[in-house]
Amino acid sequence: MVTSWSFLTNHARVLLCVAHDPGARLRDIAASLDITERSAFGIITDLVEAGYVVKEKDGRRNRYHVQAHLPLPEPASRERTIGEVLALLVGAGSAANQAGRLAGAQRADTGLQ
């Protein structure tokens, strides 16, 4: 059975690619996500304009830097940062362990048990 939907948007998927490989070329990002180069370019442009990614020229190539300290753009998720979400999705250890640690940190920050 082929799934026709995804938990993550293409913007989130591109952000993950950039976090994993800041020197990735647009064609590599597009190929790894099965999207067009034009779509990858548009998404990178969106992320740069929103301030979530900084694009730096490195010779003939670009390097991308994720601004991990910024909050998520969703109003309900503003207490979470881009870095926390990336840590869940890309970080060392299982996602369940990462989620547990983040939940524990949030409880400690808010005084909840």
- Residues 29 and 52 reside in one and the same domain: yes
Q: What is the pLDDT of residue 81?
A: 83
- Residues 26 and 79 reside in one and the same domain: no
Domain containing 107: what range?
Answer: 70-113
Q: What is the pLDDT of residue 3?
A: 66
Structural element, H or E, at residue 10: helix 10-20
- Residues 8 and 58 reside in one and the same domain: yes
Q: Within 10 Å of residue 76's Cβ, how many Cβ atoms?
A: 7
- Residues 105 and 61 reside in one and the same domain: no
- Residues 52 and 82 reside in one and the same domain: no
- Residues 45 and 96 reside in one and the same domain: no
Q: Which two tokens stand for residue 9?
A: 């948007």
Q: What is the pLDDT of residue 97?
A: 46
Number of domains making up the chain: 2
pLDDT (tens, 9 = 90+) of the chain, 113 residues, equals: 666 777 889 999 999 999 999 999 999 999 999 999 999 999 999 999 999 999 999 899 999 999 999 988 776 655 778 888 888 777 644 444 444 444 444 444 434 44
User: For residues 33 and 45, what is the distance between their CA atoms, to the nearest angstrom?
Assistant: 17
Handedness of CA 35, 37, 38, 43 (dihedral sign): positive
* CATH number for position 57: 1.10.10.10
Q: What is the pLDDT of residue 89?
A: 78
- Residues 60 and 108 reside in one and the same domain: no
- Residues 60 and 86 reside in one and the same domain: no
Q: Are 32 and 43 in contact (CB under 8 A)?
A: no
- Residues 78 and 103 reside in one and the same domain: yes
